[in-house]
Amino acid sequence: MKVILIGFGIIGKGVINVIRKKREYLKNKYGMDLKVVAICDRSGAAIDDNGLDLELALKVKEETGKISKYPEKGTSMPIVEVVKSIEADAIIEATPTNIESGEPAKTYIIEGFKSGKHVITANKGPLALYFNELLSYAKKHNRIFRYEASVGGAMPIINLAKETLAGNEIIKIKGILNGTTNYILTKMEREKLDFDTVLKEAQELGIAETNPHQDISGLDTAAKIVILANSIMNMEVTIKDVNIEGITKITPEALSMANKGGYTIKLIGEVSENKLEVGPKLIPLDDPLNVKGSLNVAMLNTDLAKEVIVVGRGAGDVETSSAILSDIINIYLKNK
Amino acid sequence: MIILDLELKDTPGELIKALTPISKMGINIHSVIHLREKKVDGRIPVRLVVGDLEDKILNEMINKLEKLDVTITKVNTSIRKRDIDLVVIGHVVDTDIRDTIDRLNKYGLVIDLDLSMPDPFKESSARMKIIVDSEKLNDLYNELDKLSKEKNLLFIKSF
Ligand SMILES: NC(=O)c1ccc[n+]([C@@H]2O[C@H](COP(=O)([O-])OP(=O)(O)OC[C@H]3O[C@@H](n4cnc5c(N)ncnc54)[C@H](OP(=O)(O)O)[C@@H]3O)[C@@H](O)[C@H]2O)c1
């Protein structure tokens, strides 16, 4: 199987490392010979139809910051051209999330389908904004579209709901879908520190981004809720339909108050037939949704299996890449 | 809680016949009040108190009872109560806490109020428990939304 990787940042490098690590495993277990035929970043691409030397690609990126500096096979060819012209079974899209336009990822995904490639993405932007449009391209070109890593990172949820729980009607999903806010609230609760102090510390530790707006405002969770609503519950909603409240007003006193009543406060995203909401909620201290640190958790209410709960890591290079690898394997097995 | 008034045929074993399918459905029976003295038209009125049920299950139970020739004269689900816990953040006291409570009491009953004011100039927080009839829950939520906008308060609700 041949893949093109677009985006060579935290996740892109994570994917390459996971592929390196699992090369033998994939061969032995699935008979799969996985070749990365192109890697793209903002500088251009490295292209090799026989499969790139992944170690070398990482080294070049590390040393120069530019994959186009890959010896002999580096090029400044625009990413769209790479997607269109290079032969491959699938593209793995891992460029930054853009919650306003979904670009440039949206274009890469569409061009991927148009040129007959399956698409795997970790990117919430295009999914939250244009899910149905993207899906229609996949259908039209009879290609597979997978995006497990986009919600909950390594925590299985999309494929869990669509495949493992097949036959169940999913009535409601609620949970903590943003690790940064969970980290902040957990720390505020434990150490009785105010929001700004904990945020600053989280930024210094690299847990929160330099621009944490999307996380703390609830927008990131809202995008994920929209993805779940559209992909699992067959709704047709956008971020504008979500009632959003973030965590910036939460105080350590409020957390103590909640504790006194047997609760904690978590930023919860919730989707059901008549509810699309993100906001801080009181969660009983002994509730399975009360997970600590930067963990993610989701509870699915289904008609047959009733409640199903998953907990996992919502971020991290190798962790998130595990979800991408599962999508790669799934596509491979379906086309074997 | 849900209260059902039933009328059973006046023959031995009727009560057991009526209760068996209910308990088989896993429904919690809190009490059975046998009102033999009020016998009407040869039927015995019985008051049954069960735990809260989803409408679907309640209907299923009623159907089962009717198939057993049990007459259901009254289903009183309106006294189904729910507890809501809230943490409120904002200028809880300065925005007329009495008025806030009065307005919530139109739909439910605020019990258990706990206030924390770390600093008179800073935002404070409060915790309250509200008991509300299930059917008034949406009205209560709407009032919370209104209060939240008017008084710039953040209400953090339990599920
Ligand atoms: N980090 C996580 O834990 C995590 C978890 C779940 C999902 N995700 C999602 O995964 C995606 C990638 O995240 P990341 O953390 O790997 O981001 P990142 O470290 O910022 O890497 C982004 C990569 O995309 C490239 N890029 C940036 N702008 C581009 C553009 N306009 N056109 C083409 N390529 C562009 C960058 O190129 P240069 O290298 O040349 O700068 C870089 O290689 C995001 O959508 C994110 O939401 C991340």
For A90-107, write each residue's pLDDT tens digit: 999 999 999 999 999 999
Q: Which residue spans within A65-183 are E strands per DSSP?
A: 74-75, 90-93, 118-121, 145-146, 170-176
Nearest to A254 by CA among B120, B152, B128, B89: B89
Q: Best mutation site among A10, A43, A219, A326 for ligand 1, i.e. most ligand atoms within 8 A of its Cβ? A: A10
Which atom of ligand 1 is least distant from the CA of A79?
A: 33
User: Rounded to the nearest 10 degrees, what angle do helices A124-140 and A105-114 cross at?
Assistant: 10
Contact B85 A260 (CB under 8 A): no
Residues of chain A with CATH 3.40.50.720: 2-154+317-334
Distance from CA of A246 to the nearest CA of B (A): 11
Cis amide leading into A71 (omega within 30): no
Q: Tokens 């509200």, residue?
A: B130
Pocket residues: Cβ below 6 A from ligand 1: A 7-12, 41-43, 79, 94-97, 104, 122-124, 149, 153, 315-316, 320
Asked if A224 is an active-site residue, the reply is: yes
Mean pLDDT of B44-51: 86
C-alpha of residue A41 to centroid of ligand 1, in Å: 9
Does residue A2 sit in helix, strand or coil?
A: strand
Contact A282 B85 (CB under 8 A): yes
Residue B34 has pLDDT above 80, yes or no: no
Helices (H), A6-78: 10-30, 54-64
Task: Identify the residue with better confidence: A325 or B132.
Answer: A325
CATH superfamily of A161-313: Dihydrodipicolinate Reductase; domain 2 (3.30.360.10)
Query: Is CATH 3.40.50.720 the classification given to domain A2-154+317-334?
Result: yes
**pLDDT at residue A65, rounded to an integer:** 98
**pLDDT at residue A60, rounded to an integer:** 98
Residues of chain A with CATH 3.30.360.10: 161-313
Task: Identify the residue with better confidence: B35 or A230.
Answer: A230
Which atom of ligand 1 is least distant from the CA of A123?
A: 45
Look up the ipTM and state it.
0.85
φ and ψ at B25, to 5 degrees?
-75, 0
How far is the C-alpha of B18 from the C-alpha of B46, rounded, in Å? 11
**pLDDT at residue B121, rounded to an integer:** 76
B127 contacts: CB under 8 Å, gap ≥ 6: A257, A258, A260, A261, B85, B86, B87, B88, B112, B113, B114
Name all domains of chain B by residue range, CATH numbers in brackets: 2-79 (3.30.70.260), 82-157 (3.30.70.2690)
Which atom of ligand 1 is least distant from the CA of A42?
A: 40
Per-residue pLDDT of chain A (336 residues; tens, 9 = 90+): 999 999 999 999 999 999 999 999 999 999 999 999 999 999 999 999 999 999 999 999 999 999 999 999 999 999 999 999 999 999 999 999 999 999 999 999 999 999 999 999 999 999 999 999 999 999 999 999 999 999 999 999 999 999 999 999 999 999 999 999 999 999 999 999 999 999 999 999 988 888 999 999 999 999 999 999 999 999 999 999 999 999 999 999 999 999 999 999 999 999 999 999 999 999 999 999 999 999 999 999 999 999 999 999 998 999 999 999 999 999 999 998
**pLDDT at residue B75, rounded to an integer:** 84
Check if the beta carbon of residue A124 is closer than 8 Å to that of residue A227. Answer: yes
Check if the beta carbon of residue A79 is closer than 8 Å to that of residue A108. Answer: yes
Helices then strands, each counted (H, E), chain B: 4, 8
How far is the C-alpha of B43 from the C-alpha of B14, rounded, in Å? 11
Residues of chain B in contact with residue A253, where contact means CB-CB under 8 angstroms, are: 116, 118, 124-125
Contact B87 A265 (CB under 8 A): yes
C-alpha of B94 from chain center: 32
Residues of chain A in contact with residue B159, where contact means CB-CB under 8 angstroms, are: 281-283
C-alpha of residue A6 to centroid of ligand 1, in Å: 9
Residue B36 has pLDDT above 80, yes or no: no
Residues of chain A in contact with residue B127, where contact means CB-CB under 8 angstroms, are: 257-258, 260-261
Residue nearest to atom 3 of ligand 1 (CA): A315
DSSP B23-41: HHTT--EEEEEE-GGG-BT
Q: Which residue spans within A224-289 are E strands per DSSP?
A: 243-244, 263-272, 275-284
Which of A251, A259, A285 has the most B C-beta neighbours within 10 Å, making it the best mutation to test the interface with B? A251
How far is the C-alpha of A47 from the C-alpha of A68, rounded, in Å? 9
Given the residues A61, A106, A187, A224, the one annotated as active site: A224
